[in-house]
Amino acid sequence: MATPNAPLVMKGGPAAGRLLAKVDAMSGTQVEACYQCGKCSGGCPLAFAMDYQPRQIMRLVQLGLEDEALASSTIWVCATCFTCTARCPRDIDIAGVMDALRVLATRRGLRPGDRNIGAFHRAFLDSVRRFGRGYELGLMLLYKLRTLRLTEDMGLGLKMLAKGKLALLPETAKGRAEVEAIFREAAEGAREAAEGARKAAEDSPETAEGAAAGPGRSKGAAGGDVR
Protein backbone atom coordinates (compact mmCIF):
# COMPACT_ATOMS: atom_id res chain seq x y z
CA MET A 1 0.00 0.00 0.00
CA ALA A 2 1.12 3.53 -0.64
CA THR A 3 2.31 5.80 2.12
CA PRO A 4 -0.74 7.65 3.39
CA ASN A 5 -0.95 11.42 3.30
CA ALA A 6 1.84 12.26 0.88
CA PRO A 7 2.68 15.99 1.14
CA LEU A 8 0.94 18.09 -1.49
CA VAL A 9 3.13 20.77 -3.06
CA MET A 10 1.01 23.64 -4.38
CA LYS A 11 2.61 24.95 -7.54
CA GLY A 12 -0.13 25.58 -10.12
CA GLY A 13 0.64 25.01 -13.79
CA PRO A 14 -0.11 26.04 -17.36
CA ALA A 15 -2.77 23.34 -17.64
CA ALA A 16 -4.72 24.77 -14.70
CA GLY A 17 -8.27 25.27 -15.94
CA ARG A 18 -8.14 22.67 -18.70
CA LEU A 19 -8.17 19.71 -16.35
CA LEU A 20 -10.79 21.41 -14.21
CA ALA A 21 -13.09 21.97 -17.20
CA LYS A 22 -12.63 18.37 -18.35
CA VAL A 23 -13.31 16.84 -14.94
CA ASP A 24 -16.28 19.15 -14.33
CA ALA A 25 -17.83 18.10 -17.63
CA MET A 26 -17.21 14.39 -17.11
CA SER A 27 -18.40 14.27 -13.50
CA GLY A 28 -21.22 16.80 -13.81
CA THR A 29 -19.97 18.62 -10.74
CA GLN A 30 -18.02 21.81 -9.96
CA VAL A 31 -14.66 21.05 -8.44
CA GLU A 32 -13.84 24.79 -8.32
CA ALA A 33 -16.47 25.11 -5.55
CA CYS A 34 -14.28 23.06 -3.18
CA TYR A 35 -13.02 25.19 -0.30
CA GLN A 36 -10.81 22.49 1.22
CA CYS A 37 -12.80 21.83 4.39
CA GLY A 38 -11.64 18.19 4.44
CA LYS A 39 -15.01 16.63 5.29
CA CYS A 40 -14.60 14.24 2.35
CA SER A 41 -11.24 13.00 3.63
CA GLY A 42 -12.53 12.79 7.20
CA GLY A 43 -15.33 10.39 6.23
CA CYS A 44 -13.52 8.30 3.62
CA PRO A 45 -13.26 4.68 4.84
CA LEU A 46 -10.24 4.06 2.59
CA ALA A 47 -8.29 7.28 3.25
CA PHE A 48 -5.73 5.32 5.25
CA ALA A 49 -4.68 3.46 2.10
CA MET A 50 -4.48 6.50 -0.23
CA ASP A 51 -1.39 8.51 -1.15
CA TYR A 52 -3.41 11.72 -1.57
CA GLN A 53 -6.51 12.36 0.52
CA PRO A 54 -9.76 13.06 -1.40
CA ARG A 55 -9.50 16.74 -0.41
CA GLN A 56 -6.02 16.88 -1.93
CA ILE A 57 -7.24 15.28 -5.14
CA MET A 58 -9.79 18.11 -5.43
CA ARG A 59 -6.94 20.60 -5.04
CA LEU A 60 -4.81 18.84 -7.66
CA VAL A 61 -7.70 19.14 -10.11
CA GLN A 62 -8.22 22.82 -9.26
CA LEU A 63 -4.54 23.48 -9.91
CA GLY A 64 -4.51 21.52 -13.16
CA LEU A 65 -1.89 19.09 -11.88
CA GLU A 66 -3.07 16.30 -14.15
CA ASP A 67 0.02 14.08 -14.00
CA GLU A 68 -0.04 14.01 -10.20
CA ALA A 69 -3.80 13.36 -10.05
CA LEU A 70 -3.73 10.57 -12.63
CA ALA A 71 -0.66 8.89 -11.13
CA SER A 72 -2.20 8.86 -7.68
CA SER A 73 -3.10 5.56 -6.02
CA THR A 74 -6.18 7.29 -4.57
CA ILE A 75 -8.24 7.15 -7.74
CA TRP A 76 -7.84 3.34 -7.85
CA VAL A 77 -8.21 2.72 -4.13
CA CYS A 78 -11.50 4.69 -4.10
CA ALA A 79 -14.37 2.19 -3.95
CA THR A 80 -17.05 4.67 -5.11
CA CYS A 81 -18.94 4.35 -1.84
CA PHE A 82 -20.21 7.97 -2.11
CA THR A 83 -19.62 8.77 1.58
CA CYS A 84 -17.57 11.81 0.56
CA THR A 85 -20.22 12.98 -1.90
CA ALA A 86 -22.89 12.76 0.79
CA ARG A 87 -20.76 14.76 3.26
CA CYS A 88 -19.61 17.59 1.01
CA PRO A 89 -21.08 20.95 2.08
CA ARG A 90 -20.48 22.28 -1.46
CA ASP A 91 -22.47 19.51 -3.15
CA ILE A 92 -19.44 18.26 -5.04
CA ASP A 93 -19.70 14.70 -6.34
CA ILE A 94 -16.23 13.63 -5.23
CA ALA A 95 -16.90 9.99 -6.09
CA GLY A 96 -17.85 11.12 -9.61
CA VAL A 97 -14.59 13.10 -9.82
CA MET A 98 -12.61 9.97 -8.88
CA ASP A 99 -14.50 8.11 -11.57
CA ALA A 100 -13.68 10.80 -14.17
CA LEU A 101 -10.00 10.66 -13.19
CA ARG A 102 -9.97 6.87 -13.57
CA VAL A 103 -11.39 7.25 -17.07
CA LEU A 104 -8.76 9.89 -17.97
CA ALA A 105 -5.99 7.71 -16.55
CA THR A 106 -7.25 4.70 -18.49
CA ARG A 107 -7.34 6.77 -21.70
CA ARG A 108 -3.69 7.62 -21.14
CA GLY A 109 -2.88 3.95 -20.63
CA LEU A 110 -2.15 4.43 -16.94
CA ARG A 111 -2.88 1.54 -14.60
CA PRO A 112 -2.81 1.28 -10.83
CA GLY A 113 0.74 0.83 -9.56
CA ASP A 114 -0.51 -1.88 -7.22
CA ARG A 115 -1.58 -4.84 -9.35
CA ASN A 116 -3.54 -6.25 -6.43
CA ILE A 117 -5.94 -3.33 -6.32
CA GLY A 118 -8.78 -5.62 -7.47
CA ALA A 119 -8.20 -7.82 -4.41
CA PHE A 120 -8.33 -4.69 -2.27
CA HIS A 121 -11.68 -3.64 -3.76
CA ARG A 122 -13.16 -7.11 -3.21
CA ALA A 123 -11.93 -7.21 0.39
CA PHE A 124 -13.52 -3.79 1.01
CA LEU A 125 -16.85 -4.83 -0.51
CA ASP A 126 -16.85 -8.08 1.50
CA SER A 127 -16.32 -6.05 4.65
CA VAL A 128 -19.16 -3.62 3.86
CA ARG A 129 -21.51 -6.43 2.89
CA ARG A 130 -20.86 -8.28 6.11
CA PHE A 131 -20.98 -5.42 8.60
CA GLY A 132 -22.88 -2.72 6.71
CA ARG A 133 -19.76 -0.52 6.95
CA GLY A 134 -16.02 -0.74 6.47
CA TYR A 135 -14.00 -2.74 9.03
CA GLU A 136 -10.45 -1.62 8.30
CA LEU A 137 -8.56 -4.29 10.24
CA GLY A 138 -10.59 -7.14 8.72
CA LEU A 139 -10.22 -5.54 5.30
CA MET A 140 -6.44 -5.38 5.60
CA LEU A 141 -6.20 -8.98 6.85
CA LEU A 142 -8.41 -10.26 4.03
CA TYR A 143 -6.41 -8.29 1.48
CA LYS A 144 -3.10 -9.63 2.83
CA LEU A 145 -4.38 -13.21 2.78
CA ARG A 146 -5.65 -12.89 -0.78
CA THR A 147 -2.42 -11.34 -2.07
CA LEU A 148 -0.02 -13.25 0.23
CA ARG A 149 1.58 -9.94 1.24
CA LEU A 150 1.36 -10.93 4.86
CA THR A 151 4.11 -8.88 6.46
CA GLU A 152 4.07 -5.78 4.24
CA ASP A 153 2.95 -2.60 6.09
CA MET A 154 2.85 -4.50 9.36
CA GLY A 155 4.69 -1.64 11.12
CA LEU A 156 2.18 0.91 9.86
CA GLY A 157 -0.74 -1.31 10.93
CA LEU A 158 0.66 -1.72 14.43
CA LYS A 159 1.19 2.04 14.73
CA MET A 160 -2.39 2.72 13.68
CA LEU A 161 -3.66 0.15 16.17
CA ALA A 162 -1.60 1.74 18.94
CA LYS A 163 -3.01 5.19 18.09
CA GLY A 164 -6.57 3.87 18.10
CA LYS A 165 -7.03 4.56 14.37
CA LEU A 166 -7.93 0.91 13.71
CA ALA A 167 -10.66 -0.83 15.69
CA LEU A 168 -9.82 -4.35 16.86
CA LEU A 169 -13.40 -5.58 16.56
CA PRO A 170 -15.93 -4.77 13.85
CA GLU A 171 -19.03 -2.69 14.51
CA THR A 172 -22.21 -3.63 12.71
CA ALA A 173 -24.10 -0.71 11.17
CA LYS A 174 -27.80 -0.27 11.96
CA GLY A 175 -28.65 -0.33 8.26
CA ARG A 176 -26.80 -3.59 7.56
CA ALA A 177 -29.93 -5.29 6.16
CA GLU A 178 -30.47 -2.41 3.71
CA VAL A 179 -26.83 -2.61 2.64
CA GLU A 180 -27.22 -6.34 2.05
CA ALA A 181 -30.31 -5.62 -0.07
CA ILE A 182 -28.31 -3.13 -2.17
CA PHE A 183 -25.65 -5.78 -2.78
CA ARG A 184 -28.33 -8.30 -3.83
CA GLU A 185 -29.90 -5.76 -6.18
CA ALA A 186 -26.51 -4.90 -7.70
CA ALA A 187 -25.71 -8.59 -8.23
CA GLU A 188 -29.10 -9.10 -9.86
CA GLY A 189 -28.50 -6.06 -12.12
CA ALA A 190 -25.08 -7.40 -13.10
CA ARG A 191 -26.59 -10.80 -13.92
CA GLU A 192 -29.28 -9.18 -16.08
CA ALA A 193 -26.68 -7.01 -17.86
CA ALA A 194 -24.51 -10.07 -18.56
CA GLU A 195 -27.54 -11.95 -19.85
CA GLY A 196 -28.47 -8.95 -22.06
CA ALA A 197 -24.93 -8.78 -23.45
CA ARG A 198 -24.98 -12.54 -24.11
CA LYS A 199 -28.28 -12.32 -26.00
CA ALA A 200 -27.05 -9.27 -27.96
CA ALA A 201 -23.91 -11.21 -28.89
CA GLU A 202 -26.07 -14.01 -30.28
CA ASP A 203 -28.24 -11.55 -32.25
CA SER A 204 -25.48 -9.26 -33.51
CA PRO A 205 -21.82 -9.43 -32.54
CA GLU A 206 -21.29 -5.70 -33.37
CA THR A 207 -24.14 -4.52 -31.13
CA ALA A 208 -22.87 -6.72 -28.35
CA GLU A 209 -19.47 -5.07 -28.47
CA GLY A 210 -21.06 -1.66 -27.87
CA ALA A 211 -23.29 -3.00 -25.11
CA ALA A 212 -20.40 -4.65 -23.33
CA ALA A 213 -18.40 -1.39 -23.31
CA GLY A 214 -21.38 0.47 -21.84
CA PRO A 215 -21.46 4.14 -20.87
CA GLY A 216 -18.18 5.75 -19.73
CA ARG A 217 -19.12 6.15 -16.11
CA SER A 218 -20.24 2.62 -15.39
CA LYS A 219 -17.25 1.24 -17.21
CA GLY A 220 -14.88 3.13 -14.97
CA ALA A 221 -16.84 2.53 -11.78
CA ALA A 222 -17.03 -1.18 -12.36
CA GLY A 223 -13.26 -1.26 -12.44
CA GLY A 224 -13.26 -3.32 -15.63
CA ASP A 225 -9.99 -1.72 -16.64
CA VAL A 226 -8.48 -2.04 -13.20
CA ARG A 227 -8.22 -5.72 -12.64
Q: Which of 219, 140, 133, 213 is nearest to 178 (CA)?
A: 133
Residue 90 interacts with ligand SF4 (CB under 6 A): yes or no: yes
- Please name the residues in contact with 86: beta carbons below 8 A apart, sequence gap of 6 or more: none
Pattern 144-173, ligand SF4, x by CB under 6 A = ------------------------------
Q: Which of 26, 61, 69, 94 binds ligand SF4 (CB under 6 A)?
A: 94
With contact defined as beta carbons under 8 Å apart, do 34 and 92 qualify?
A: yes
Residue 44 interacts with ligand SF4 (CB under 6 A): yes or no: yes
Minimal distance in Å, beta carbon 54 to ligand SF4?
4
Of 2-10, 11-19, 52-60, 201-209, the window that binds ligand SF4 (rule: CB under 6 A) is 52-60
Residue 226 interacts with ligand SF4 (CB under 6 A): yes or no: no
Q: Which of 19, 23, 26, 40 binds ligand SF4 (CB under 6 A)?
A: 40
With contact defined as beta carbons under 8 Å apart, do 2 and 79 qualify?
A: no
Residue 134 interacts with ligand SF4 (CB under 6 A): yes or no: no
Residue 34 interacts with ligand SF4 (CB under 6 A): yes or no: yes
Q: Which of 3, 18, 90 is nearest to 55 (CA)?
A: 90
Residue 182 interacts with ligand SF4 (CB under 6 A): yes or no: no
Residue ranges binding ligand SF4 (CB under 6 A) = 34-40, 44, 46, 54-55, 58, 78-84, 87-90, 92, 94-95, 98
